[in-house]
Structure 1
Amino acid sequence: MKEICQETIIKEVKRLCMEANYVLPMDVQKALQDAYTKEDSLIGQQTLEVLNKNASIASCTSSPICQDTGMACVFVEIGQDVHVQGSLNEAIHEGVRQGYQEGYLRKSVVDDPMFDRINTKDNTPAIIHYEIVEGDQLKIIVAPKGFGSENMSQVKMLKPSDGVQGVKDFVLKVVNDAGPNACPPMVIGVGIGGSFDRVTLLAKKAMLREIGTHHPDQRYQALEEELLEKINQTGIGPAGYGGKTTALSLNIETYPTHIAGMPVAVSICCHVARHKEVIL
């Protein structure tokens, strides 16, 4: 049995919160740079140049890449042979609290979703997703999610008879509905299958997948490529100013579902697709 102390988790979550807001993952940086060289629109090129420069400055100065430093979404894979000394939940929330306070990151969480809406002043609580896996490792991914793009995400309970075309139509509708509001170029995760609650988690996880990787099933890989091409033909372009770089990637995650349903969720993130991970 592997023992991991609470303080280690607090320290690592704190670090991940700050790094995720300061430094874009390498795959996103590369995708932005590649998009600049391929973009035909002059204003689209200029916008991508600004985004690339902004990411570079943020990394060099340890400043937030975006003013919206997000709500902390934390994905935890905990091995069956791992024992945490103390409360894992409390350690994660404390790490988020310290990361946002000491990292001078904007606090955006309110305590009551409808009536009081008083800022908690430390960006807690976080959204935590747990998965129990084999082994003796603890993997933590921190993904700060801004709500300019989160508000553009959608879920729909399609019928099996809607078929592949129904999925295509829904994904394209979500992107067109989002337009410039999601601060394109976007990173898009699509979940297909499971249940009403599971499909949204699939979409969020798909969004975290490395740009350039694909679904292992060639049929879904082909769908990823087709949808990305169609999205970049919408002409929305960087920041909505026009061009062919509306999305940097589109990843699909799937799960078995009921014979009577075909849930589909689309999770949208702007180009600031921030996430960092650690394995303990």
Structure 2
Amino acid sequence: MDILDEISNTIIKASTTLSSDKYKALRKAIDMEDNENAKWALAQILENYHVAEKTGFPLCDDTGISHVIIEIGQDREISGKLLNQIHEGIALGLNNLPARPMAVKGDFVERIEQSRGLYEKPGMLHPANILIDNANDDSSYKRDISSDTLNIHFLLEGGGPEIRAKTYRVYHQRSFENVIDTACGWLEESLKMLGCTPSIPSIGIGRTHFEATSLLLKSVAYGSLDNQSEHEQHISDRLNQSGIGPLGLGGKTTVLGTYLNIGNQRASGVRIVSVRPSCFVEPRVATLKL
């Protein structure tokens, strides 16, 4: 199969299917929920997943902005040609899906103002800058990357969670709990306004705004609800005590789990924290192994 078709199919898979760990978490939440409205909402969400996977339709009308993480071992190489193919394959996948047209026309001023309207083809929505990940990464989500690894992870990030996301500094006061408590406070406020819970919030903590957000994105690509750390479980338990519940209808299930990725830190009184409260169709992730 041509690599452009492989990338296209991977984008379509990311848009139309969810991982087994999220299915299991949702079914567990349905079984545990005793709020009738919340239980009904969770059942409808599960049905939405089944319909999307069966029909090949997107999980959500907001089909998301493509983000790419390349995971590479020391004996592999990536070329400018491959990077171009990733861009071309994403455009092909969005057109074949088909995704929702969301790319704004015009120069940089016109794009900000959205004064010239949208491109008709969904594939005109170009991906964000590509992240490269290798064995030197040192974070909570550090990977055991073999020398011959070349994986391309495709993430589709919806607009609603981006509106509610936040990246900002926290004065740590030499307290891990203070940093996590601040991040949880941000998430509690954003989840109230998100509308499409239950969420799997992601948190990245680094030295710069770029690094914190990169750590967050890596957690979305690599995180698993089957393997939650003690701290991730603590955050989930706290957020579920908010009573927001699925679709804001109350109940026990505001989040299905949490991704917490902490990278290197520097001698400073500040930690840069990035949080993103995903909507219930996320994470939308699929991987192409080359």
Q: After TM superposition, is the score higher than 0.5?
A: yes
CA offset digits 1:39-86 (Å, max 9, x no partner): 121000000010011110111111111111100111111333334566
Unmatched segments (≥5 aa) in structure 2: 136-145
How do residues 104-143 of structure 1 correspond to structure 2 at under 5 angstroms?
Answer: 104-110=98-104, 112=108, 113-116=111-114, 118-120=117-119, 121=121, 122-127=123-128, 128-133=130-135, 135-143=147-155
Q: Secondary structure at the match of 1:168?
A: helix
Instruction: Give 1:55's aligned residue.
Output: 49
Q: Which has the higher strand share?
A: 1
How far apart are 1:179 and its partner, in Å? 1.3
Q: Secondary structure at the match of 1:87?
A: helix
CA offset digits 1:124-157 (Å, max 9, x no partner): 3112212245622310111111111121111121
Mapped to 1, the partners of 2:65 and 2:238 lie a distance apart of: 30
Q: Does 1:100 align with 2:94?
A: yes
Change (3 A) 1:177 1:29: same
Match of residue 216, structure 2, among 203, 211, 218: 203
How far apart are 1:262 and its partner, in Å? 1.2
How do residues 42-191 of structure 1 correspond to structure 2 at under 5 angstroms?
Answer: 42-84=36-78, 87-110=81-104, 112=108, 113-116=111-114, 118-120=117-119, 121=121, 122-127=123-128, 128-133=130-135, 135-161=147-173, 163=175, 164-191=177-204
Q: Does 1:276 align with 2:286?
A: yes
Q: Secondary structure at the match of 1:257?
A: coil
Equivalent pairs counted in the alignment come to 268
Q: Secondary structure at the match of 1:44?
A: helix
Runs of 4+ aligned structure 1 residues displaced above 6 Å come to none
Q: Alignment identity in percent?
A: 26
Instruction: Give 2:226's aligned residue.
Output: 212
Conservation of the 8 A alpha-carbon contact between 2:72 and 2:133: yes
Q: Secondary structure at the match of 2:189?
A: helix
Instruction: Give 1:34's aligned residue.
Output: 28
Q: Secondary structure at the match of 1:105?
A: coil
Unmatched segments (≥5 aa) in structure 1: 1-6, 215-220
- In structure 1, give the amino acid aligned to 2:147: G
- In structure 1, give the amino acid aligned to 2:158: G
Mapped to 2, the partners of 1:119 and 1:9 lie a distance apart of: 28
Match of residue 246, structure 2, among 238, 241, 248: 238
Conservation of the 8 A alpha-carbon contact between 2:161 and 2:277: yes
Conservation of the 8 A alpha-carbon contact between 2:165 and 2:190: no
TM-score by length of 1: 0.88
How far apart are 1:116 and its partner, in Å? 4.0
In angstroms, what is the RMSD of aligned CA positions? 2.0
